[in-house]
Amino acid sequence: MRAVVAGGAGFVGSHLCERLLAEGAEVICLDNLATGDAGNVEHLRDHPGFRFYRRDVTEHVHVGGPVDAVLHLASPASPVDYRRLPVQTLKAGSVGTMNLLGLAREKGARFVLASTSEVYGDPLVHPQREDYRGNVSPVGPRSMYDEAKRYAEALTTAYRHEFGVGTGIVRIFNTYGPRMRPHDGRAIPTFVAQALRGQPLTVAGDGTQTRSVCYVDDLVDGLVRMTRSDVPGPVNLGNPHELTVLELARLVIELCASSTPVTFVPRPPDDPSVRRPDISRARAELGWEPTVSPVDGLSATIRWFAARFGLPCPPKLAAAAGVPAGASAAPTAALPARPAPVTASHIPVPRAGDEGATTMPIPIGQAAGAED
């Protein structure tokens, strides 16, 4: 299989590239690095089946040769990013989706849209099934992301019906794991960074709002299954195990063996009160359900954060991973107090002579590119 992964240098996209390569696929990774990070795919640069192109999918997208699958994950996805880039977020969901659908139509390829649970807004039904139409404000503080994804779903459906493109839509619920940023505004990376630094964990509101968190490996498995199927969707992909935000904070504190307290801060407007997927359709049509428990997934995430930023690994987690107590697995950078300035890396991810490949230094930002 030859797959185009748009947004492939993001959090979820980079894990998806890894999985596809491991299964023998050739992967063409497109990312404009607005929120993606070339460092997320640096370890793939020498893989013979991998190509990276710095491309903005809101501009014309051309890929030479055959393509079997186009996976659209290109969008700012964290509140910090889509509020900073509202127009770019809307363009990624509209113009970017149309360009990638056009590529899939041209190549006769399977197209998979990474949509989001945010299409349900602040839901009035619980758990959320795919036939629920949502409770969303088109002019609210999250509207640039919510409405971009709702439009993208409508456009994907239209291409399926009018042009016969083999499309599939997945709605991704809260996902976490290695390569998330500590400052992207989402609960888990924020809590982990705070706990490892010994800072109070900041919980919005009274912490009774709920989230269902899915480890990235489970999510990627669902994306691959959707790609290899002919299921049109939409299909919810997420972990139906529900936690309050306060329970989540206390679990992170426990796993980090921290004594740091919880503090409460004002809750953002339009913050959903509940979030839990009904995954009956994913089970029936894809044979998919998550298998990684919150304890195991959070433990792996905490170990990665400790190693990535040169902080001591919590003793219990270090022992489970074979890391000496109080040591970091691979200290590489100090954990920043705020997003670091853009730097440059001269990683030769594209091959010289590849059509459209950029051979200039690739800027690396504090990246996410992850859905939910």
What is the C-alpha to C-alpha distance for residues 167 and 170, in angstroms, rounded to an integer?
A: 10
What are the residue numbers of the active site?
145
- Length of the chain equals 372
Rounded CA-CA distance 15/209 in Å is 28
The answer to whether the CB of 171 falls within 8 A of the CB of 366 is no
Give the 3-state DSSP-derived string for 77-137, with helices as H, strands as E and coil as C.
Answer: CCHHHHHHCHHHHHHHHCHHHHHHHHHHHHHCCEEEEEEEHHHHECCCCCCECCCCCCECC
Q: Which two tokens stand for residue 332?
A: 């590489």
What number of helices (H) and strands (E) belong to the chain? Answer: 11, 15
Cis check: omega of the bond before 234, within 30 degrees of 0: yes
